[in-house]
Amino acid sequence: MFLKNAWYVACRPEEIEGKPLGRQICGLKMVIYRGPENQAVALEDFCPHRGAPLSLGFVKDGNLVCGYHGLEMGCHGKTVAMPSQRVSAFPSIASYPVIERYGFIWVWPGDREKADPALMPVYEFFDNPAWAYGGGMYHVKANYQLMIDNLMDLSHETYVHSTSIGQPEIDETPCKTEVKGNKVFTSRFMENIKAPPFWRMAMRANGLDDNALVDRWQICQFTPPSHVMIDVGVALAGKGGFDAPDEDKVYSVVVDFITPETETSHWYFWGMARKFKTNDSALTYSIREGQGKIFAEDMDMLERQQSNILLHSGRRLLKLNIDAGGVNSRMVLDRLLAEENQA
């Protein structure tokens, strides 16, 4: 089950440059393309003539042309033309509200009447010269809630990411979980420790002594339907931790937009926004490459986890204190899904 009355990242703008894109979101097959005046459009990926995927066609003068028999669809899902045929009476196909923001194309797969741009999340680090951003996308063959669980419990870093961001102090430091309305927060603060390899690289890039002891923080925030932002960083020990002056720390936000595809797959749009050396494009590339490898490790684990769960579908998964962030995120989703289904 998916929460459909919500905004999801559908794709990046470059994915629809020059051709339509077929993408399944929340179980719905959509075609996304540039329509009139270069506006992003999302329609049902179904030609009303013979059922062919419209994503196999092309765009002409703002209309989507089916690649099977040349039927043309308007941006609102109405058939507008077909060579030598009368098609004006064809029923419309579904169209979905779209917003282009923060360098992504977002889609609302639910009730059109409830689609409100004001419900879009607000992030200070996009389109902001005080921040730099780099990221990518993975197609993950696992249920999207497994990714939320993974991101809301960072204790796995000690084991899955042992050569980059993991360290024993993560296991040794208690994690606090809070629920505030529809948002879930988990936080962990580690004091007077050595920085792991990834953060040592970041310290060097910002002119800090990478051998110095640091205070490290991880603050994860889940926001429905499936967005997880993680405040991460290290500061020179004793300088104030999270609140340390910029010159004494390296600080970033890990950006995770998780878009369900099916019950056992999702689109994972990942990235990192940082507030140091923002004009250093080489550093942006280096961080992106490093982060991509870290998330590839997550993807491998989650896909194997999903496979195992399917193989042992009757077995109950056990829960520990470290699972509180993911458990509470699922509880928020369950409540919102029940409300949506009753509306």
Please state the φ and ψ torsions of residue 58, each to the nearest 5 degrees: -150, 170
The confidence score (pLDDT) of residue 1 equals 82
Cα distance between residue 279 and residue 282, in whole Å: 9
Closest CA to 278 of 205, 184, 176: 205
Q: Is the peptide bond before 225 cis (omega within 30 degrees of 0)?
A: yes
pTM: 0.94
The confidence score (pLDDT) of residue 343 equals 72
Task: Give the H or E element holding residue 233.
Answer: strand 227-236
The confidence score (pLDDT) of residue 89 equals 79
Cα distance between residue 268 and residue 167, in whole Å: 25
Sign, CA torsion 33/39/44/49:
negative
Say which residues have a Cβ less than 8 Å from residue 63's Cβ, sequence separation at least 6.
35, 72, 73, 74, 75, 80, 81
Tell me the CATH architecture of domain 132-342: Alpha-Beta Complex (3.90)
For the chain, the helix, strand and coil percentages under 3-state DSSP, each to the nearest 5: 30, 30, 35
Burial class (CB in 10 A: 0-12, 13-18, 19+), 53: middle
* Cα 222 versus chain centre, distance: 11
The confidence score (pLDDT) of residue 219 equals 97
Closest CA to 297 of 160, 103, 158: 160
pLDDT digits 0-9 by tens, 122-167 = 999 999 999 999 999 999 999 999 999 999 999 998 888 988 888 8
* In the block, residue with structure tokens 């390296």: 250
Per-residue pLDDT of the chain (343 residues; tens, 9 = 90+): 899 999 999 999 999 999 999 999 999 999 999 999 999 999 999 999 989 999 999 999 999 999 999 999 999 999 988 888 887 878 899 999 999 999 999 999 999 999 999 999 999 999 999 999 999 999 999 999 999 999 999 999 888 898 888 888 888 899 999 999 999 999 999 999 999 999 999 999 999 999 999 999 999 999 999 999 999 999 999 999 999 999 999 999 999 999 999 999 999 999 999 988 999 999 999 999 999 999 999 999 999 999 999 999 989 988 988 899 999 999 999 999 999 998 7
Domain with CATH 3.90.380.10 in the chain: 132-342
Structure tokens at 289: 């490459």
The confidence score (pLDDT) of residue 162 equals 83
Closest CA to 227 of 99, 302, 123: 123
Q: Are residues 258 and 271 in contact, defined by beta-carbon separation less than 8 angstroms?
A: no
Domain with CATH 2.102.10.10 in the chain: 8-119
Tell me the CATH architecture of domain 8-119: 3-layer Sandwich (2.102)
Residue positions counted in the chain:
343
Task: Give the H or E element holding residue 64.
Answer: strand 63-65
The confidence score (pLDDT) of residue 163 equals 86
End-to-end CA distance of the chain: give it in Å, rounded.
Answer: 16
Q: 24 has which bridge partners?
A: 29
DSSP 94: P
Mapping DSSP to helix (H, G, I), strand (E, B) and coil, where does residue 192 land?
strand
Cα distance between residue 76 and residue 79, in whole Å: 9
Cα distance between residue 58 and residue 20, in whole Å: 6
Cα distance between residue 253 and residue 125, in whole Å: 9
Say which residues have a Cβ less than 8 Å from residue 166's Cβ, sequence separation at least 6.
157, 158, 159, 160, 196
Q: 230 has which bridge partners?
A: 220, 254
